[in-house]
Every structure is written in C-alpha cells, then in structure tokens.
Structure 1
Amino acid sequence: MFRFLIGRLALLVPTFLGVTIVAFGFIRLLPGDPVLLLAGERGITEERYNQLMEQFGFSRPIWEQYFDYLVGLLQGDLGTSIVTKKPVVTEFFTLFPATAELALCAIILAVAIGIPAGIFAAVKRGSFFDQTIMGTALIGYSMPIFWWGLLLIILFSGILQWTPVSGRISLMFFFPQPTGFMLIDSLLSGQKGAFASAARHLILPAIVLATIPLAVIARQTRSAMLEVLGEDYVRTARAKGLTPFRVVGMHALRNALIPVITTIGLQVGVLLAGAILTETIFSWPGIGKWMVDSIARRDYPVVQGGLLMIAAIVMVVNLTVDLLYGLVNPRIRHN
C-alpha cells in the first residue's frame, strides 16, 4: 500500500506541472487587457498604463512571469487578486464552503438515487421499468445545465413559487458563519426559519448540479450489476436459497461497486465544472461564480489560482478513490 501511494504521488507531480501550464496560459489566450479592464470607462493615461503593467509584472516576458508563478507556488503563494487586492488563497477558502456544500448535496442526491435506480434496472432487465429508468437517465445526461436550471426556475420559482430564485438564504436572516456551510450555520444560529430558508435555497441548485452525475451513476451501476449477476457465485448463492436482498445486496453489489466508485470519483470534476454554470444561474456565491467573474475581469492570479486549486482537489479525490478499492473489495491489493 505504501509503495502504491508513493508511486501515485510521484505521478501527480508531472500532472500538477501540466495544470500550472494550462492555468497560466488559458487566461492569457483570451482577448482583453486586464489593466484596461481595471481602468474601466474612466480611461487611463499611457504613463499610468505602463506603471500598472510594470507593477503587475505583465511587461516582462511570458517565461519570466511563468517562472515567478512557479516560485510563488513552491512558497505556497497563489498571488493577489488584481481587482480586490486580496490573496487568492484567502478568497478561495472563503468561497469554497459554498461550492463544497452544493457539490456535497448534489453527489449525495446522485448516489442516493442513482445506485438504487441502476440496481433496480439491472434486476428488471428488459422490463418497462428498466427502459424507463435508462431513458430518463439518457435524457438527464443530455440535458444542458443552463437550460435545465432556467426551466426549473421558471416552474418552481416563477409559476409555483415554491423555491427562491437565487442566493443561499433569505436576506432577513443574518448570523455568523463559522463553518461556511449555510445549512450547519443556520442550525447553529438558533434563528427560527433560518434552516428552512437555507434548505429551500439549496434545493434547485442541488437538483440541477446532480442531474448529470445521477444519470451517469445509474447507467454505470446497471452495467456493472448486469455483468456481476451473470457470474457463477451469484447463481450459486441463489441455488442455496438466499433471499434476493442478500444475493443482490451482499454478493452482487459489493463486487459491482469498483467501477461505480470510480465513476463517483470522476464525477467530482464534473460537479466542480458544472458548478460554474449552476452558480452563475442561481447567483450562488461560490467558486464557480467567482471564477466566471474573474475571467470576465481578466484577473489573472485568481483564474490561475482557482484552476490550480480545483485541479488539486480533483487529483486528491481520485487518489482517495484508488485507495478505497482495497476496502470495498478485499481481493484487490495495492502491491
């Protein structure tokens, strides 16, 4: 296990280096001058423009800027925002709890519905229920997030008026947020109705963000279960007279979980990517909306640091998934 972990960590080094190149080059490929955008409609003199270019380091060659960027990363410095003048790390961890809360609720929803739906579809293979579940999953996977989100807003917020349109909680509530997770902080506040308000604001964004992962998990679970249900040990378990619950739940499901867990781990990247659109649609104050606003303002340090932190989270999650294989299936050993 230790050798496996060291080997995987060694592979993360070139991957991380590649991410730094992408993060550094991506924002600079977009048209627009960050200094001119910062000046806005007020305009700026040529002397002041040159001064700001020198101050931010944009007047130096690209390779020098990239080298300084790498040196800063080795020292734990992701830079300072051009617009807010705050450290990128501080802004990231201030906004990250909002995105983490949304992504966590979305993945819980996707797993809680997707795995049982996939199991049921596999057990009832070829039936009306199987075709309905898989057809619905295909529609959910194919549905654009921005269209699906706006549709739910029109229906549940506009016509039915069951849920709020945007934000994390009603403006009538104000309390300290020590954890950054609105559901937890609203409970700790003790204010009547605060938790219900936070939950109502979370429903639609979580459903929209969970749609694609739910569809993928359901289809992968069905595929894995169909492969396992045809194995000899499953037929033997049935021949022994074990109940369908024990055959499916204890024998088949455990051996089918490896590809499902891999799929769930890969969905973390999908969730973080989908959060950009979801947070923009619902004005959710998280990392996604922060990144979109920073791209529009050509805030180089924020975009670079944000992409790097998101990539690091995805890599850590995928490494954790690999380590979980041995716990789910004892036959797998990391030699």
Structure 2
Amino acid sequence: MPAYIARRLLQMVPVIIGSTFLIFVMVFALGDPVGGRCGQRPCPPAYVAKFRADNYLDRPILVQYGHYVGRLLHGDLGTSFSGASVAQDLLTRFPTTIKLALIAVLLEAVVGIVAGVLAGIRKGRFLDYLVTLSSLVVISIPVFVIGGLAQLVFGLRLGLFPVTATQGTIGQLILPGIVLGALSLAYVARLMRATLVENLGSDYVRTAKAKGLTPTRTVGVHTLRNSLIPVITFIGTDVGALMGGAVVTERIFNINGIGGYLYRGITLKDGTIVVGTVTCLVLVYLLVNLLVDVLYGVLDPRISND
C-alpha cells in the first residue's frame, strides 16, 4: 500500500503543473490582467507599466508561470483588487465551503447508497420504481429551482431551516447542503442500483447462494463491496464538482464561501482571485482523488498491487 500511494502522489505532480499552467495562461496571458483594476476608467500608463513589471507580465509566459509557481510554493496567491491577500481570503472562506460540501457528500453517500441498495435488492417492486422515479425528477430540475423551492417550503412556509446562511454555522448550512447534494444523491442512487443489480446476476453470487449463504451476507459482504467501487469513483470526482458548483448554491443562500468569492472575482474581472481560487480547488480535487485511490486498495487489494 505505501508504494501504491507513492505512485499516486508522483502521478499528481504533472497534473498539478499542467492544470495550474492552463489556468494561469487562460486568465493572465489570454486576457487583460489590468482590465477592471481602475474601475470603468482606463488605468494610467505608469500604473500599468509598474503592475506588469511587479508581476512579471512583461516577461515570456514561462517566466511568468515560473514566478507564479515560486510564489505558490510559499503560500502566496497574490493580492486582489482591494489589496487583500487572496490566500488569507480563501483561508477565511474555505471552512464554510468545506462544511457545505461535507454535508452534501454525506447526504449523497449515505442516503444515495441506501436508496440504491434498497432499489437494487427489490428490483421491479414499488420501492425500486419510487427511487428510480424520484431520482429522475431531481435530475431534471435545475439547482437554482431546487434551492428556491427549498427556501420557500422549508424556510418560509414551514420554518424548519433559515433561508440564508450568512454566518456559515452547521445549522444554517443543512438546507444549502441538501440542495447542493440533491442532484448527486440522485445519480448515486441510480448508479448504486444499476451496479448492484448487475452484480446480483454474477456467477459468484449464484455460487454464494448455492453454498447456503443468507441473502444478507450475500449482499452485504460479497455483492455490496464490488458494487461500491464505481460509486466511490463518482463520489470522489463529485467532491471537486460540489465545491466548484457551490457558486450557485452559495449565491442563493448568501453564503460567504469559496463559490461566492470566485463569483466575485469573475464579476470584478479580478484574475488574481480567479486563478488562486481555481488552483486551490484543483488541489482539493486531486487530494480527494488520492483518497479515492486508497479506498480502491481497501475495497479490492488487487488494485493496489497493479
């Protein structure tokens, strides 16, 4: 297992370099990094020249990127238009977005897997049709519609949850977390059902039944373990999507998190905020995928020996 983890860490290095380079080029080299820094008016030529010199923007692109990576290794993500440190702004907002994403992941993992298992073992029955139909309904509704309806029904009408989450407490983030994870929950339930039904028809399951194993042991020990591998793959890749997709949810519930910060950087055309935020999201995404690879080795030891 240690060698397996070491190989995965080495494979992350070129991905980090390639992704951060593409982000840097798309935001700084292909756009105007000075645009928007002086509001609606054009910046003075002296300011533009000094800004480009200070940020190596008058140098070749590889030199610019090398300078950016050097600052990145020291935890420096640059300074926003307002003069604040992007790294410090992200540190204050990351806990809120992480809590929001964890609520969504727990929802999709627990409820989605349980619903998929129940639908799979009761294929063709009422519970199967209920899970399949309800998941299809959730998938067909946009997130902003689900968020608005959740605010109206559970916040204003029933008063079960607050309609905004400005302070970012767990209680305030439950409803936004449910909204954020609703779509992924539906996909996990459908994927879990499909893989479980497929594995239940496999030869090894029929052999286990022929040996007299109980249905609970057949499903819980043998079938479920193999069925979880594609589901864990989806959940692992979905963590990055949840944190990036939190832009809409955080705007709906007025959450002071990474999504709102990224939206602010885009609307203000602040390339430093955009590059720094997206770079951090890429790193989080890669670390989560490393965790998924480790779970692969736990669920199927043959994978860690490849």
Question: What displacement does 1:104 show?
Answer: 0.4
> Does 2:224 align with 1:253?
yes
Within a 5 Å distance, the mapping from 1:49-68 to structure 2 comes to 49-58=48-57, 60=59, 62-68=61-67
Q: Which residue of 1 aligns with 2:125?
A: 127
Question: What displacement does 1:53 show?
Answer: 4.9
Contact 1:78-1:305 within 8 A present in 2 as well: no
Mapped partners of 1:34, 1:159: distance in 2: 46
Mapped partners of 1:150, 1:29: distance in 2: 38
Within a 5 Å distance, the mapping from 1:226-241 to structure 2 comes to 226-241=197-212
Mapped partners of 2:115, 2:222: distance in 1: 18
Q: Which residue of 2 aligns with 1:149?
A: 147
Q: Which residue of 2 aligns with 1:182?
A: 169
Please, what TM-score do these two structures have when normalized by structure 2? Answer: 0.88
Q: Which residue of 1 aligns with 2:87?
A: 89
Mapped partners of 1:326, 1:53: distance in 2: 48
Cα RMSD between the aligned structures?
A: 2.6
Supply the AA of the counterpart residue of 2:12.
Answer: L
Structure 2: gaps spanning 5 or more residues: none
Distance 1:243-1:92 versus aligned 2 partners, 3 A rule = same
320-329 vs 22-31, which moves further: 22-31
> Does 2:17 align with 1:17?
yes
Supply the AA of the counterpart residue of 2:169.
Answer: M
Q: Which residue of 2 aligns with 1:310?
A: 281
- 240, 245, 267: which one aligns with 1:296: 267
Question: What displacement does 1:88 show?
Answer: 2.4
Question: What displacement does 1:36 show?
Answer: 5.2
Distance 1:48-1:69 versus aligned 2 partners, 3 A rule = closer
Question: What displacement does 1:293 show?
Answer: 0.5
Q: Which residue of 2 aligns with 1:194?
A: none
Mapped partners of 1:16, 1:216: distance in 2: 28
Question: What displacement does 1:63 show?
Answer: 4.5
Total equivalences in the alignment: 306
Contact 2:37-2:81 within 8 A present in 1 as well: yes
Mapped partners of 1:333, 1:65: distance in 2: 39
Mapped partners of 2:58, 2:140: distance in 1: 44
Distance 1:19-1:36 versus aligned 2 partners, 3 A rule = closer
Question: What displacement does 1:26 show?
Answer: 3.2
> Does 2:51 align with 1:72?
no
Q: Which residue of 2 aligns with 1:39?
A: 38
Question: What displacement does 1:217 show?
Answer: 1.1
Identity of aligned pairs, percent? 39
Mapped partners of 1:87, 1:106: distance in 2: 29
Mapped partners of 1:223, 1:286: distance in 2: 35
Distance 1:29-1:139 versus aligned 2 partners, 3 A rule = farther
Contact 2:154-2:160 within 8 A present in 1 as well: yes
Contact 1:106-1:210 within 8 A present in 2 as well: yes
Please, what TM-score do these two structures have when normalized by structure 1? Answer: 0.81
> Does 2:276 align with 1:323?
no
Q: Which residue of 2 aligns with 1:26?
A: 26
Mapped partners of 2:184, 2:266: distance in 1: 26
Q: Which residue of 2 aligns with 1:209?
A: 180
8-17 vs 312-321, which moves further: 8-17
Mapped partners of 1:330, 1:48: distance in 2: 59
Contact 1:78-1:301 within 8 A present in 2 as well: no
String of CA shifts for 1:13-61, please: whole Å, max 9, x gaps. Answer: 2211221122213334887x56453333677555445545545555555
> Does 2:255 align with 1:284?
yes
Question: What displacement does 1:301 show?
Answer: 2.1
Q: Counterpart of 2:39 in 1: which secondary structure?
A: helix
Mapped partners of 1:30, 1:286: distance in 2: 27
Q: Counterpart of 2:38 in 1: which secondary structure?
A: helix
